[in-house]
Amino acid sequence: MFKRNKAWYFIMSLMALAVLLVGCGKATEEKTVETPKEESTEQPKEEAVDYSKDVKENPVVTITMENDEQIVLELEPTVAPNTVANFISLIEDGYYDGLIFHRVIPGFMIQGGDSSGDGSGGPGYAIDGEFSSNGFENTMKHERGVISTARTQEPNSAGSQFFIMTDDNSSLDGEYAAFGKVTEGMETVNAIVANETDAMDKPIKEQKMKTVEVDTKGFDYPKPVTH
């Protein structure tokens, strides 16, 4: 009787061990099942749409200074479409009205479009630089009368500041996004750059833009792609 009970306990022990091993095996198997990977939630960078092929006539910008002298520019959407769209958007919002040319350098350029008036301001966003060293084909040269975008050392940092060339400067070609040219009023540009300046190249007498207006020739320009 004792031997039979001993044998029965031995069999039951083996069965319990088998169940335990099977249980461990299932647990291990469940742990090694590959769980589905989460898809990335990062949004792809928005690309600027090239609308320029639909533009029939280039937009014209008129800068009227406080003394009523004017600078008239023709913008080139085919050269830098997002830069042109940004400039037009800011003009239509009235952003430039009342701002000054805060930096002028004879033999070089006049620079404006800074809401702070000291070169540090902007619209609160930036756009990608549309120039060749930044991977964008832009063959417009920085010749006398050309308007281009100011930026920091970061290539995709342009915002609202722009400069108008008073002389040719090929060192800027491919490094800044030129996007139009003066068609009338270079004498006004010459008068602005001739002003006496302080150590920061800021005119002693304010050179204020009373209004900046744009004639889009009936084309509805898209909002710029910003970041």
Looking at residue 46, what is its pLDDT?
A: 67
How would you classify the pairing of strands 101-105 and 162-165?
A: unpaired
Looking at residue 44, what is its pLDDT?
A: 52
Looking at residue 14, what is its pLDDT?
A: 45
- Establish how many alpha carbons lie within 13 A of residue 132's alpha carbon, considering only the half-sphere containing its beta carbon: 9
**Exposed / middle / buried, residue 79 (Cβ in 10 Å: 0-12, 13-18, 19+):** buried
Looking at residue 91, what is its pLDDT?
A: 98
pLDDT tens profile 129-166: 999 999 999 999 999 999 999 999 999 999 999 999 99
Cα(144)–Cα(182) distance, integer angstroms:
9
Looking at residue 205, what is its pLDDT?
A: 97
In 3D, which of 57, 92, 100 has the Cα closest to residue 75? 57
Place of tokens 């099977």: 22
Task: With residue 20 as reference, give the H or E element that holds it.
Answer: helix 2-32
Looking at residue 45, what is its pLDDT?
A: 59
Task: With residue 82 as reference, give the H or E element that holds it.
Answer: helix 81-92
Contacts of 97 (CB under 8 A, 6+ apart): 209, 210, 211, 212
Looking at residue 91, its amino acid is I
Residues of the chain with pLDDT under 70: 1-46, 48
Predicted TM-score (pTM) above 0.85? no
What phi and psi values does residue 142 have, to the nearest 5 degrees? -85, 75
